[in-house]
Structure 1
Amino acid sequence: MTPPPGWYTDPCAPHLERWWDGTAWTDHRRAPGQRAAAAPPPSAPRGGGPAGVKTVAVTTAAAVVVAAIVTGVILLGKDDGTGPVADPTVSATVEQTEGTTGPPTPSPSTSEPPADDPAVVTDELNGITLPLLDGWVRPKYVSDSAVLMTTDGTYDCPGEGSLCRHGLVISRTVTVNDETSPEALAKADIEEAAEEAYDRDSLDRKPYGGMESHEVVGSGPVAVAGRAGYFVRWRVKTAKGPGGYVQSLAFHSTVGVEAPVIVRYVFDAGEDGPPLADMDRITEGIRPLGDADTGGGVGSSLGPAD
């Protein structure tokens, strides 16, 4: 039974996909997974007389089958109020023995997930992904490349400076410290993290009037991306504004030389700041790249502190 027209693995170049018009291969090729705006035009019938007519009939019948399949996909798609929506990831691939010239044998396939998954942010250097929660966005107009996500929007800083954000999540790779214990790393990092967040910025200004005091409101071991980690959380008071919470989370990377990683959380206090529970939710949602099943928080309590 001849398979319907579609994109299949090219028997002459397995790294590409090639258009099968229902009866023969065409010259149309594309990279696997590439989404075409439209199918290539149908090839001209091969041969003459009855053979040509037979080819057209087979192609037309195959097109009807494809149309029925596409219609079924459209009807099963989600409806947001503007009409039925087709699933754009529907595709077909084939497995064909090298050297054969006959029609391909369709087989089911799965599409690669989009590189820019809207549900997570990716830290390629440290080999982890973090969940992008409601109210959080990827960094925009942020000069520090270590910032992974921020709360949506900005506001006028209460002290010196122009614009501030209610929340930041930052990652850093530890490269100049001989210490490898996550507990020691987190305890050593928290003071610097608090000063950079609420004391002086890179231009030596005091966006919050300077940091006046701090209180340790949480610390302890926690599993992060399947690795043992440790966190320290401070409540910081500032000369201006409500102050905030700063957390240093240390654990070992799962890539390369497994260098220690520090993830810093900076949350403004007060009603405009992000929920403090987001620190725990982000920590529990950290995953190694390519492993959606290895989570964090195992055997540890990270309840938000007042």
Structure 2
Amino acid sequence: MSTTPPPGWYRDPSYPLTERWWDGTAWTDHRRQPEAAPRPPEPPRPAAVDSRRAKAVTLTVAGAVLVASVVTGAVLLDRDDDGDRTQTRTAPGGSSPAPRPTVTASASGRPSEDPSVVVDELNGITLPLADGWVRAENVAEDDVVMTTPGTYDCPGDPGLCRHGRVSSRTVTANDEKSPRALAENDIEDAANSAYDRDLLDARPYRGITSHRLVKAGSVAVAGRAGYFVRWRVRTAVGPGGYVESLAFPSSVGSQSPVIVRFAFDAGDGGPPVSDMDRITEGIRPVGDADTGGGVGSSIGPPGR
């Protein structure tokens, strides 16, 4: 024999935040906000109400299982290729792991830069990065654009030397415009800078003992008329080397003359002298990969 609760205010099964009047046999339409005092046990619920509550409990349990499965799956997926656990981060307000950013770099380590060239924005040219060459890093001279990788102990005064360097600079010290005159006037300074005294006034090769002209002539550089002079220098210690001054008008701005200097060690470790020609032939105006040059190529006008 079942006992029916007496009439009174009880938690409303349909709206748990309110109280509803139970008349002893059925629910009425009278509701109120619950009081702070504890309430008597709730009366038996009608079959329809119990059915809805049972469904709600079932859905809540199922949702909890689903969330646990998602979190477990995220943790299982967040492992590296060797099966080691990696750190899992949680997105704000959610239980799924936050996406991790992917960093992509080019072969040069500079995402937006062509790994096959060095860009000289000031003079409006690009120079090809030939095999065995790297972009200049940790070099004291500001104008150096590429070097051979690595260093060695200089044979003369203490310091570190490199087997090859290429530099590019704008001529601003005089009004001379002739590429030939510029190259011929620059070659001695280029040789002294490379093999006589460095920026600290040290003599890494104990100075130049002699030099001879190897080659000189007109050359097309990035479609412009240029001129080069190449020397073979001998030093007091070490194998000496080859130096070249290459002069041509810039294709940008005021078309100020540009001088590209080459300094290659002779003997073992030094780059092939033919790289001077390869780099010269590969010089291009910025944004124009089709305009080339080289010894024997057709030469355009020095100006516009």
Give TM-score scaled by structure 2 length.
0.61
Q: Does 1:287 align with 2:284?
A: yes
Q: Which residue of 1 aligns with 2:261?
A: 264
Q: Which residue of 2 aligns with 1:128?
A: 125
- Give the SS at the match of 2:205: coil
Equivalent pair of 1:221/1:300 in contact (CA under 8 Å): no
- Give the SS at the match of 1:191: helix
In 2, Cα distance between equivalents of 1:161 and 1:296: 40
In 1, Cα distance between equivalents of 2:154 and 2:111: 37
Summarize deviations over 1:216-265 as a string: whole Å, max 9, x none.
00000000000000000000000000000000000000011000000000
Q: Which residue of 2 aligns with 1:31?
A: none
Equivalent pair of 2:218/2:295 in contact (CA under 8 Å): no
- Give the SS at the match of 2:217: strand
Q: Which residue of 2 aligns with 1:148?
A: 145
Give the superposition deviation at 1:176: 1.5
Give the superposition deviation at 1:288: 0.1
In 2, Cα distance between equivalents of 1:243 and 1:300: 31
Q: Which residue of 1 aligns with 2:249?
A: 252
- Give the SS at the match of 1:281: helix
Give the superposition deviation at 1:289: 0.1
Give the superposition deviation at 1:115: 3.0
Residues 280 and 298 of structure 1: CA distance in aligned 2, closer, same or farther (over 3 Å): closer
Q: Does 1:162 align with 2:193?
A: no
Alignment RMSD, CA only? 1.8
- Give the SS at the match of 1:203: coil
Give the superposition deviation at 1:300: 5.3
Structure of larger gyration radius: 2
- Give the SS at the match of 1:254: coil
In 1, Cα distance between equivalents of 2:293 and 2:208: 31
Q: Which residue of 1 aligns with 2:178?
A: 181
Summarize deviations over 1:284-304 as a string: whole Å, max 9, x none.
000000000000115259xxx
Equivalent pair of 2:205/2:236 in contact (CA under 8 Å): yes
In 1, Cα distance between equivalents of 2:296 and 2:191: 27
Equivalent pair of 2:281/2:292 in contact (CA under 8 Å): yes
Residues 157 and 124 of structure 1: CA distance in aligned 2, closer, same or farther (over 3 Å): same
In 1, Cα distance between equivalents of 2:169 and 2:112: 22
In 2, Cα distance between equivalents of 1:298 and 1:147: 23
In 2, Cα distance between equivalents of 1:215 and 1:233: 9
In 2, Cα distance between equivalents of 1:266 and 1:299: 23
| Percent identical | 71
Equivalent pair of 1:121/1:138 in contact (CA under 8 Å): yes
In 2, Cα distance between equivalents of 1:236 and 1:295: 29
In 1, Cα distance between equivalents of 2:221 and 2:115: 21
In 2, Cα distance between equivalents of 1:203 and 1:272: 24
Unaligned runs of 5+ in 2: 1-103, 105-109, 299-304
In 1, Cα distance between equivalents of 2:177 and 2:116: 31
Which amino acid is the alignment partner of residue 128 of structure 1? I
Equivalent pair of 2:150/2:162 in contact (CA under 8 Å): yes
- Give the SS at the match of 1:197: helix
Give the superposition deviation at 1:143: 1.9
Give the superposition deviation at 1:114: 5.6
Give the superposition deviation at 1:139: 1.0
In 2, Cα distance between equivalents of 1:163 and 1:114: 31
In 2, Cα distance between equivalents of 1:129 and 1:181: 22
